[in-house]
């Protein structure tokens, strides 16, 4: 099918919720994608940080197809070895003790929010339900996770929103302290605000935040939906800040391209959500879990993570040398660059034209290449980017 037909089909039958680039991607392998007209692209997006192993990784395909031809779904009324295997590996490798599986990042965050409120009210009484998030954060698109998101543009059209969220300034402990009281059950933050423009939190703030939370038994919850699963050079990004959160959420890269989310917590919180208090029809689907286990086994490897760090440093260093780049931000292979000329969107469109897929986040051009990308492929992509930014 040609692009014009695909576009016509979409316009006829789909709600116009997405501002799409003017191409239809129809297949991919590794770091290369092809569109409906046969044109090739180097992928610096991983489908927004999802395809950590690139497109159609052979071992991932083998794991997924094996599970799909063994048992594609079973309800959560029964035990499920694909789920338990993933749960065990996730807990062992992350150091957390208990997990709940969902289908998306927003759903993983819903679980964290429910857990925090249940813990707060169980332990301290009905009043303890308030959650502090950060200005410029992003936590999802459900009505509750929109409320958790600290950006006014997301608080339009769909009110009434879920109550109980307040927004502190990132890197400003005073602003957190001013909001924290006996009604606060949790602080929920991203280590790097991804959608907010690739803004890493300052290490000192994060350490102070941890201390403050511990002192008041306020749960420290980290949204690792975009930063997790090796993206920043450690399995989860919080590890680099030297903190021990109570709860983390994971999704995006977790399934390597299949929908899955996870909410992980420490031992003492492991029984807070119990029989009948939370659930999901598809959550922990065996095929998604088999894919996730395959991703996890690869990205948790120390050597693999070292390479992510090296590749991230390489990309960031090359970007910093480009004349058209005013600023580079990020950790590992989660990278944002501020162009000197042209908007991020204009640059993304020009890159697309030249055969390179990149993302934007606010005023930043955002790069989330597959973690398996080679240095040669990085060079090829950066050559295109340099050319585009030079002329933008």
Using CB under 6 A, list all residues that contact ligand PLP. Answer: 104-106, 109, 138-140, 190, 194-195, 223, 225-226, 251-252
Beta strand ranges found along the chain (DSSP E): 25-29, 32-35, 40-43, 98-102, 130-134, 165-168, 184-189, 192-193, 199-200, 219-223, 247-250, 261-265, 325-331, 334-339, 356-357, 359-361, 364-367
Smallest separation, CB 220 to ligand PLP (Å): 16
Residue closest to ligand PLP when measured from CB atoms? 105
The smaller minimum CB distance to ligand PLP, of residues 357 and 392, is found at 357
- Contact criterion met (CB below 8 Å) for 135 and 170: yes
Smallest separation, CB 355 to ligand PLP (Å): 26
Listed in sequence order, the residues at least 6 apart from 290 whose beta carbon sits closer than 8 Å to its beta carbon are 63, 64, 66, 67, 82, 86
SS3 64: helix
The smaller minimum CB distance to ligand PLP, of residues 46 and 104, is found at 104
The smaller minimum CB distance to ligand PLP, of residues 141 and 380, is found at 141
Residue for token pair 């907010």: 196
Smallest separation, CB 193 to ligand PLP (Å): 8
Whose CA is closest to 239, among 196, 262, 206?
206
The smaller minimum CB distance to ligand PLP, of residues 80 and 103, is found at 103
Give the pairing type, strands 247-250 and 356-357: unpaired
Smallest separation, CB 183 to ligand PLP (Å): 24
- Contact criterion met (CB below 8 Å) for 162 and 177: no
The smaller minimum CB distance to ligand PLP, of residues 120 and 140, is found at 140
Terminal alpha carbon distance of the chain: 32
Smallest separation, CB 49 to ligand PLP (Å): 7
SS3 254: helix
Smallest separation, CB 81 to ligand PLP (Å): 25
Whose CA is closest to 297, among 128, 57, 105?
57
The smaller minimum CB distance to ligand PLP, of residues 109 and 232, is found at 109
The smaller minimum CB distance to ligand PLP, of residues 144 and 251, is found at 251
Smallest separation, CB 194 to ligand PLP (Å): 4
Distance CA 154, CA 157 (A): 8
């Amino acid at each position: 099918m040609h692009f014009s037909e695909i576009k016509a089909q979409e316009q006829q039958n789909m709600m116009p919720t997405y501002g799409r680039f003017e191409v239809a991607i129809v297949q991919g392998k590794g770091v290369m994608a092809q569109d409906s007209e046969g044109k090739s692209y180097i992928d610096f997006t991983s489908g927004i940080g999802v395809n950590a192993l690139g497109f159609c990784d052979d071992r991932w395909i083998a794991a997924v197809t094996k599970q799909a031809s063994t048992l594609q779904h079973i309800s959560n009324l029964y035990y499920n070895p694909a789920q338990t295997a993933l749960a065990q590996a996730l807990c062992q490798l992350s150091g957390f003790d208990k997990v709940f599986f969902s289908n998306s990042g927003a759903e993983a965050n819903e679980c964290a929010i429910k857990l925090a409120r249940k813990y707060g009210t169980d332990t301290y009484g009905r009043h303890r339900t308030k959650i502090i998030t950060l200005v410029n954060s992003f936590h999802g698109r459900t009505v509750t996770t929109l409320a958790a998101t600290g950006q006014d543009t997301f608080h339009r059209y769909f009110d009434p929103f879920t109550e109980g969220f307040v927004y502190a300034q990132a890197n400003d402990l005073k602003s957190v302290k001013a909001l924290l009281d006996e009604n606060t059950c949790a602080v929920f933050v991203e280590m790097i605000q991804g959608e907010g423009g690739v803004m890493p939190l300052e290490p000192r703030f994060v350490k102070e935040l941890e201390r403050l939370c511990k002192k008041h038994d306020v749960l420290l919850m980290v949204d690792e939906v975009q930063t997790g699963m090796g993206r920043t050079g450690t399995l989860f990004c919080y590890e680099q800040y030297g903190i021990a959160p109570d709860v983390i959420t994971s999704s995006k890269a977790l399934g390597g391209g299949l929908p899955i989310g996870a909410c992980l917590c420490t031992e003492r919180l492991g029984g807070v959500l119990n029989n009948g208090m939370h659930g999901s029809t598809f959550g922990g689907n065996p095929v998604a879990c088999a894919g996730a286990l395959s991703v996890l086994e690869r990205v948790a490897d120390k050597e693999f993570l070292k390479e992510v760090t090296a590749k991230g440093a390489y990309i960031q260093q090359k970007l910093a040398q480009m004349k058209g780049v005013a600023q580079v931000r990020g950790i590992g292979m989660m990278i944002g660059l501020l162009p000197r000329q042209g908007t991020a969107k204009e640059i993304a469109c020009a890159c697309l034209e030249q055969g390179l897929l990149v993302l934007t986040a606010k005023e930043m051009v955002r790069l989330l290449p597959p973690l398996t990308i080679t240095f040669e492929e990085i060079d090829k992509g950066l050559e295109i980017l340099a050319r585009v930014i030079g002329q933008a």
